[in-house]
Amino acid sequence: MNRMRFLVTAGPTREPIDPVRYMTNRSSGRMGYALAGAARHEGHEVVLISGPTTLDVPPGVDFIHVETAQQMYEAVRDMVRDVDVAILSAAVADYRPVHVAQQKIKKSEGRVLLELERTPDILASMREEFSFTGVLVGFAAETQHLISNAREKLLRKGCDMIVANDVSQPGIGFGSTENEVTLVLPDREIQLPRESKEWLAMRIVEHALTLLP
Ligand code: PMT
């Protein structure tokens, strides 16, 4: 196999509320770091774009640290040229506060309303906005209708494969060491067993490579 160029997104994003508070989610980054490590292990060039995690960057992987969805969007846009396989596994915040307070918000007796707006959808920007023509692998974190929701994402976002995980099940998905995923392709589905994220990452990378022209 020739040396290919991979781009992987991983981890959560942090959307600031004020200088000391932010919105985030339970992603540890393990799935994405395992994907980056698996692609590198197979001899490919890898750039990993990650939100904040406590993980070590796999050896030999180029690394870009970001905090917000907007920063991840810009980093992917800037790095995507000449990439053969893009795997977007990050748990990007879908919403961010409209206003970021310059000073720490003081507590008061009443309720506080936080107005939120959509963040850019990086996966949905890949084909038209970023003109990406390589193999595009997205993830779907679902709590119901796993396969039909994943298939809808596959079509709507121009993906070649969606890695669907049921994040309502305990012990897999967000923050765990194991995962259980179904690879959703245009013409079929491949159910993989519950396994370590490292083992699954190797299978996902292998399948993604079979989709290269
Ligand atoms: O990090 P871990 O603890 O190891 O957990 C792994 C995981 C559960 C985070 C991972 O397996 C996973 O499911 N990642 C996708 C999480 C997610 O946000 O899913 P989604 O269904 O909301 O998003 C669908 C796809 O769009 C994903 O490829 C996501 O990266 C992408 N997306 C979403 C929002 C956005 N603004 N931009 C995006 O690119």
Three-class HEC string of the chain: CCCCEEEEEECECCEEEECCEEECCCCCCHHHHHHHHHHHHCCCEEEEEECCCCCCCCCCCEEEECCCHHHHHHHHHHHCCCCCEEEECCECCCEEECCCCCCCCCCCCCCCCCCEEECCCHHHHCCCCCCCCCEEEEEEEECCCHHHHHHHHHHHCCCCEEEEEECCCCCECCCCCEECEEEEECCEEEECCCEEHHHHHHHHHHHHHHCCC
Q: Which residue has a Cα nearest atom 18 of ligand 1?
A: 91
- Atom 17 of ligand 1 has which residue's CA nearest to it? 91
Average pLDDT over every residue of 21-36: 98
What is the phi/psi pair of residue 193, to 5°?
-75, 165
Domains of the chain: 5-98+115-210 (3.40.50.10300)
| Residue 175 beta carbon below 6 angstroms from any ligand 1 atom | yes
Question: Residue 1: what pLDDT?
Answer: 73
pLDDT band at 114 (very low <50, low <70, confident <90, very high): very high
Nearest ligand 1 atom to the CA of 30 is 4
Band the pLDDT of 11: cuts 50, 70, 90: very high
Q: Using a pLDDT cut of 90, give the percent of the chain over it.
A: 96
| Cα atoms in the 13 Å half-sphere on the side-chain side of 197 | 22
Report, as an integer, the average pLDDT of 134-151.
Answer: 96
Query: Which atom of ligand 1 lies nearest, measured to the CA of 139?
Result: 28
pLDDT at 88: 98
Q: Are 85 and 208 in contact (CB under 8 A)?
A: yes
Residue 184 pLDDT grade (very low, low, confident, very high; cuts 50, 70, 90)? very high
In angstroms, the CA 55 to CA 189 distance is 31
The closest-lying atom of ligand 1 relative to the alpha carbon of residue 91 is: 18
From 24, 55, 89, 157, the mutation candidate for ligand 1 (largest count of ligand atoms within 8 A of CB) is 89
**Rg of the chain over all Cα atoms, to the nearest angstrom:** 17
Q: Is 90 in the pocket of ligand 1 (CB under 6 A)?
A: yes
Q: How confident is the model at residue 40 (pLDDT cuts 50, 70, 90)?
A: very high
Positions annotated as catalytic residues are 25
Q: How far is the CA of 164 from the centre of ligand 1 (A)?
A: 10
The rounded Å distance from CA 145 to ligand 1 centre is 16
141 C-beta closer than 6 A to ligand 1: yes
